[in-house]
Amino acid sequence: MFKVDIILKGRVQGVGFRYYAKQIADEMKVSGKVWNNYDGSVEVVGYLESKKDIDEFVEKIKIGPQMSSVKESTVTITPSDPPMDEVFEIAN
């Protein structure tokens, strides 16, 4: 199991990005959460089983909803225990 942490910068707040991320996570059965950061970025944390799943999740997240524009993204992948909850939630 791996934890992927994605920080997205650009026009990512106020455009439905957190709801978009939840939709992608629910479709892919990914647990984790998404939230807005104070610096205007959006952060997504997901727990996935394989490198292939991570790559697919990251690419879909980077697309963003129609009104968004991702200018920069940082992806950090670390080994992890499975999450306590099997859900993907929108925080703040």
Catalytic residue ranges: 18, 36
The token pair at 39 is 């610096």
Burial class (CB in 10 A: 0-12, 13-18, 19+), 18: buried
- What is the gyration radius of the CA atoms in the chain, in angstroms? 12
The token pair at 87 is 């859900």
**Cβ atoms of residues 5 and 80 within 8 Å:** no
